[in-house]
Structure 1
Amino acid sequence: MAAYLIADVDVRDPAAFEAYRREVPATEVRYGGRYLGRGGQTRVLEGDWQPHRLVILEFPDMDSLMAWYDSPEYARLRAIREKCATTRIIALEGVTTPLG
């Protein structure tokens, strides 16, 4: 069953973040990841959430998502991101039926 990584990224240093943004897609593809949303316009419909740069990635399953997140190739990029952005990240397991 598919799994989703949802991240809210508050970029503090755009120049440093550019290296992360440019290099990270190649690491995700190796684990079956694909973007469903990446830095597009957002609109808060309810609540007081003020998102920054939202990212939604889909992976084939939670094991693939976690294998990517814990991989050595992503660890190097994660260190870059952690220095130039504050990020909230969750992993969400998908549903097996359209109605959940």
Structure 2
Amino acid sequence: MAAYFVMIREQTTDPASLAEYGPRAALAAQGHSLKPLAAYGALDQVEGDDVEAAVILEFPDMTAARAWYESPPYQAAVKLRHTGSKSKAFFVEGVSLGKS
């Protein structure tokens, strides 16, 4: 079953660190089965506190998602996101759409 990584950036705190994060995160994706579904596009926020940006990545399953997130290249990159912003991230498992 597909799994999704969702990251919500609430506030930029260090633009230089955040600028380094993007290219390193892209490199960390190499060799992993992920599909970007949304990445820093225009937001039409309808609820909650303001957010600056959002990313949604699709993975074949939770194991593949965790393998990417826990990989040494991504762990090196994510430190820059943590330094450069206030953000939240989580995994959510998809739903199985059975045939009717």
TM-score band (shorter)? 0.7 to 0.9
In the alignment, the residues of structure 2 paired with residue 98 and residue 24 of structure 1 have an alpha-carbon distance, to the nearest angstrom, of: 34
Identity score, percent: 29
Q: SS in structure 1 opposite 2:81?
A: helix
Which deviations, in whole Å up to 9, do the C-alpha atoms of 1:21-73 show, x marking residues without a partner? 1121221242211211111111123x334222101111111101011111111
Q: Which runs of 5+ in 2 are unaligned?
A: none
Tell me the equivalent position of 2:68: 68
Tell me the equivalent position of 1:14: 15
Tell me the equivalent position of 1:88: 88
Q: Which runs of 5+ in 1 are unaligned?
A: none
In the alignment, the residues of structure 1 paired with residue 12 and residue 68 of structure 2 have an alpha-carbon distance, to the nearest angstrom, of: 22
CA contact 2:3–2:61 (8 Å) conserved in 1? yes
Q: TM-score, normalised by structure 1?
A: 0.86
CA contact 1:4–1:93 (8 Å) conserved in 2? yes
Give every structure 1 segment of 4 or more consecutive aligned residues whose post-TM-superposition deviation is greater than 6 Å.
Answer: none
Post-superposition offset of 1:94: 0.8
User: Residues 95 and 29 (structure 1 numbering): CA distance in 2 closer, same or farther, change over 3 Å?
Assistant: farther
Q: TM-score, normalised by structure 2?
A: 0.86
CA contact 2:24–2:74 (8 Å) conserved in 1? no
In the alignment, the residues of structure 2 paired with residue 22 and residue 7 of structure 1 have an alpha-carbon distance, to the nearest angstrom, of: 16
In the alignment, the residues of structure 1 paired with residue 38 and residue 71 of structure 2 have an alpha-carbon distance, to the nearest angstrom, of: 22
CA RMSD of aligned residues (A): 1.8
Amino acid corresponding to residue 24 of structure 2 in structure 1: E
In the alignment, the residues of structure 1 paired with residue 98 and residue 81 of structure 2 have an alpha-carbon distance, to the nearest angstrom, of: 34
Aligned residues: 98
CA contact 1:28–1:34 (8 Å) conserved in 2? no
